[in-house]
């Protein structure tokens, strides 16, 4: 509609108000480019647009996620020439005019395509370095290259940068060292490289950050100055944790080579877990196991960056049967072992920190003999108690058997409890007892039996019985003052009947 200007607003998730979209205010074109430090490429953004002429309404609201729509632009490239190499310095896309890809920057992979200017044969190199060296080139030769960035996950490919060309310099008298490799041995790093010339010395430098941005911060490794061999050994604690770079330079006194290609080095990946040191101490029927960290030359324990767990293998020296278990403690006891027996143990350490799973080699095997301890005493006491119990059982069995024999062959004349219940009078009990068991009898004297009538006699007998029943005789015989006549016999019979 002729001279028309447009303005756009945006809204982030969780916001109620609309914000003016930078770069898209009062523009006459029907397109605009925008970027904002407050935008997150992984957030869903809402947009609205309206024409500024007249009282126009806002357009329909649309939404999009910048990551899905935005194109990965070309990275910025800066080249440095050497005699047989080109150093490529890369700036991630989106960092020059905006911060669109600031969060994704560390995840970029760069594809470098290089060729001789006089040839169409291309060579592709992939790197995640922001500073990389392409070596083994020809001196005094023009090379051209282009670079593009891409993301691994999710996969997204950018566009190539413009073509950059540069001439390599004249050949240096001393070539730089090549093929740098880093190994770990005990508590030291071992840096190795290849070099064809003899009678030279080497120096090694390291850089804790991106050399492309901090090339002036290279530092000398103290134990790697004027090294006369193609390797350098230095302690792990010389370098900090994280990612850094190392490089090597050769010198023959008069001439100095260019620096080697930088070697990227990750201390987390290279960290080697040393084997633990095992000590054992017998305690009665148990073994106390002590797991310690190895010691340096100064007898100081080696510091561990992460907590460790220990895999313990334990076995009897005379047997191949092994027991395996994991321990987080460095001091523990293996109980219930056989006395006076040799046991052996070895262990290795495991490091699990969420990123790396590493294990040491097994420690030296340590063997120890258990003591007699409380177990032997316990067995002795248990044996004595068992023997005493057996003797008591035998004695009890003999006693029971003897009672049985006495009951069968020598029965007791004492009346049973049932008889004793119904025969309560002492004289009748005496009839059932043997002479040896007969008790002292009670007796009484009856006088003037003949002058009493039968009825009176009976009453008199009752009274006399009550009267004299308390008199006792210490003799076992029976006495009476009656004559040996017929009258007395009748009274004795009556007495006996009454008693019955």
Residue-level pLDDT at 46: 92
Q: Which of 262, 294, 301, 289 is nearest to 276 (CA)?
A: 294
**What phi and psi values does residue 144 have, to the nearest 5 degrees?**
-125, 150
Residue 462 pLDDT > 80, yes or no?
no
pLDDT tens column, 310-320:
899 999 988 88
Residue 482 pLDDT > 60, yes or no?
no
Residue 163 pLDDT > 90, yes or no?
yes
Kindly state whether residue 434 falls inside one of the protein's structural domains. yes
Question: 176-211 burial, b for 16+ CB within 10 Å, e for fewer?
Answer: bbeebebebeebbbebbbebeeeebebbbbbbbebb
CA within 13 Å, CB half, 215 = 9
Residue 338 pLDDT > 80, yes or no?
yes
Give the model's confidence band at 361: pLDDT under 50 very low, under 70 low, under 90 confident, else very high.
Answer: confident
Residue 212 pLDDT > 80, yes or no?
no
- Distance between CA atoms of residues 284 and 326, nearest Å: 23
Tell me which DSSP letter residue 114 carries: E
Q: Could you give the percent of the chain with pLDDT greater than 90? A: 26
Q: Where is 465: in which H helix or E strand?
A: helix 454-468
Q: Could you give the percent of the chain with pLDDT greater than 70? A: 70
CATH code, 133: 2.60.40.10
**330 or 237, greater pLDDT:** 330
For residues 338-363, average pLDDT: 81
Q: Do 199 and 134 share a domain, yes or no? A: no
Residue 201 pLDDT > 90, yes or no?
yes
Q: In what order do the strands lie in the sheet with 178-185?
A: 178-185, 188-194, 231-235
- Distance between CA atoms of residues 267 and 212, nearest Å: 20
What torsion do the CA atoms of 212, 214, 215, 217 make, to the nearest 10 degrees? -160
Residue 213 pLDDT > 70, yes or no?
no
Q: Do 331 and 357 share a domain, yes or no? A: yes
- The number of folded domains in the chain is 5
Joined tokens for residue 460: 């008199």
CB-CB contact of 241 with 305 (8 Å)? yes
Give the model's confidence band at 410: pLDDT under 50 very low, under 70 low, under 90 confident, else very high.
Answer: low
Kindly state whether residue 410 falls inside one of the protein's structural domains. no
Q: Do 80 and 19 share a domain, yes or no? A: no
Joined tokens for residue 113: 């395509």
Its domain, for residue 256, covers 178-270
Lowest-pLDDT range, 17-21, 108-112, 299-303?
Answer: 299-303
Q: Do 338 and 256 share a domain, yes or no? A: no
Kindly state whether residue 288 falls inside one of the protein's structural domains. yes
For residues 119-144, average pLDDT: 91
Find tokens 């490289």 and name the residue: 193
Kindly state whether residue 56 falls inside one of the protein's structural domains. yes
Residue 202 pLDDT > 90, yes or no?
yes
Q: Do 335 and 365 share a domain, yes or no? A: yes
pLDDT tens column, 66-98:
878 878 889 999 999 999 999 999 988 876 555
CB-CB contact of 63 with 46 (8 Å)? yes
Joined tokens for residue 337: 């072992």
Residue 160 pLDDT > 90, yes or no?
yes
Kindly state whether residue 380 falls inside one of the protein's structural domains. no
Q: Do 81 and 162 share a domain, yes or no? A: yes
- Distance between CA atoms of residues 123 and 114, nearest Å: 5
- Distance between CA atoms of residues 261 and 85, nearest Å: 9
**485 or 206, greater pLDDT:** 206
Q: How many CB atoms lie within 10 A of CB 433?
A: 13
- The residue from 270, 296, 319 where one domain ends is 270
Kindly state whether residue 385 falls inside one of the protein's structural domains. no
Residue 162 pLDDT > 90, yes or no?
yes
Kindly state whether residue 384 falls inside one of the protein's structural domains. no
**276 or 437, greater pLDDT:** 276
CB-CB contact of 368 with 287 (8 Å)? yes
Residue-level pLDDT at 154: 73
Residue-level pLDDT at 376: 52
Give the model's confidence band at 470: pLDDT under 50 very low, under 70 low, under 90 confident, else very high.
Answer: very low
Q: Do 162 and 186 share a domain, yes or no? A: no
Residue-level pLDDT at 100: 65
Residue-level pLDDT at 138: 93
Q: Do 43 and 83 share a domain, yes or no? A: no
For residues 472-494, average pLDDT: 47
- The residue from 41, 70, 99 where one domain ends is 70
Q: Do 156 and 186 share a domain, yes or no? A: no
Pairing, β 219-220 against β 201-207: antiparallel
Residue 332 pLDDT > 70, yes or no?
yes
- Distance between CA atoms of residues 207 and 438, nearest Å: 122
Q: Do 246 and 214 share a domain, yes or no? A: yes
- Distance between CA atoms of residues 216 and 96, nearest Å: 22
CA end-to-end span of the chain: 154
For residues 149-153, average pLDDT: 84
Residue-level pLDDT at 205: 92
- Distance between CA atoms of residues 413 and 20, nearest Å: 127
Pairing, β 164-167 against β 286-292: unpaired
pLDDT tens column, 12-71:
888 889 999 988 999 988 898 887 666 777 789 999 999 887 677 888 899 988 878 878
Q: How many CB atoms lie within 10 A of CB 369?
A: 13
Residue-level pLDDT at 143: 97
Residue 458 pLDDT > 70, yes or no?
no
- The residue from 240, 270, 300 where one domain ends is 270
Q: Do 64 and 122 share a domain, yes or no? A: no
Q: Do 24 and 100 share a domain, yes or no? A: no
Residue-level pLDDT at 445: 58
Kindly state whether residue 147 falls inside one of the protein's structural domains. yes
């Amino acid at each position: 509609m002729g001279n028309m200007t447009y303005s756009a607003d945006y809204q982030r998730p969780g916001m109620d108000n609309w914000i003016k979209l930078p770069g898209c205010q009062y523009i006459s074109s029907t397109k605009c480019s925008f970027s904002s430090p407050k935008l997150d490429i992984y957030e869903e953004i809402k947009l609205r647009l309206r024409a500024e002429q007249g009282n126009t309404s806002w357009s329909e609201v649309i939404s999009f996620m910048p990551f899905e729509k935005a194109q990965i632009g070309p990275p910025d490239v800066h080249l440095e020439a050497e005699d047989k190499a080109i150093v490529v310095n890369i700036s991630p896309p989106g960092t020059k005019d905006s911060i669109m890809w600031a969060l994704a920057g560390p995840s970029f992979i760069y594809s470098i395509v290089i060729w001789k200017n006089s040839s169409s044969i291309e060579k592709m190199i992939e790197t995640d370095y922001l500073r990389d060296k392409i070596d083994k080139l020809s001196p005094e030769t023009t090379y051209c290259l282009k670079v593009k960035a891409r993301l691994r996950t999710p996969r997204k490919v950018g566009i190539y940068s413009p073509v950059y060309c540069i001439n390599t310099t004249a050949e240096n008298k001393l070539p730089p060292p090549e093929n740098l490799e880093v190994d770990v041995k005990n508590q030291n790093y071992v840096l190795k490289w290849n070099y064809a010339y003899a009678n030279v010395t080497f120096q090694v430098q390291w850089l804790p950050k991106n050399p492309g941005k901090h090339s002036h911060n290279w530092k000398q490794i103290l134990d790697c100055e004027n090294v006369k061999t193609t390797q350098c050994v230095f302690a792990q604690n010389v370098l900090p944790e994280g990612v850094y770079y190392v490089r090597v330079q050769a010198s023959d006194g008069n001439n100095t080579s260019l620096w080697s290609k930088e070697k990227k080095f990750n201390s987390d990946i290279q960290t080697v877990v040393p084997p633990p040191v095992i000590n054992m101490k017998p305690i009665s029927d148990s073994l106390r196991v002590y797991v310690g960290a190895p010691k340096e030359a100064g007898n100081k324990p080696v510091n561990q960056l992460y907590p460790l767990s220990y895999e313990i293998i334990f076995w009897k020296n005379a047997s191949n049967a092994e027991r395996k278990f994991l321990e987080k403690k460095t001091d523990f006891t293996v109980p219930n072992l056989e006395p006076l027996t040799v046991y052996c143990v070895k262990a290795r350490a495991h490091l699990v920190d969420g990123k790396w799973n590493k294990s040491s080699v097994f420690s030296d095997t340590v063997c120890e003999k258990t003591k007699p301890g409380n177990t032997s005493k316990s067995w002795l006491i248990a044996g004595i108690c068992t023997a005493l119990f057996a003797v008591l059982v035998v004695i009890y069995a003999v006693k029971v058997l003897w009672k049985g024999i006495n009951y069968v062959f020598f029965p007791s004349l004492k009346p049973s409890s049932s008889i004793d219940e119904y025969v309560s009078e002492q004289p009748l009990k005496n009839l059932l007892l043997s002479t040896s068991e007969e008790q002292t009898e009670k007796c009484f004297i009856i006088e003037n039996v003949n002058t009493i009538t039968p009825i009176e006699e009976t009453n008199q007998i009752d009274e006399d019985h009550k009267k004299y029943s308390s008199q006792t005789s210490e003799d076992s015989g029976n006495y009476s003052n009656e004559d040996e006549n017929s009258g007395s016999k009748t009274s004795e019979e009556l007495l006996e009947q009454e008693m019955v």
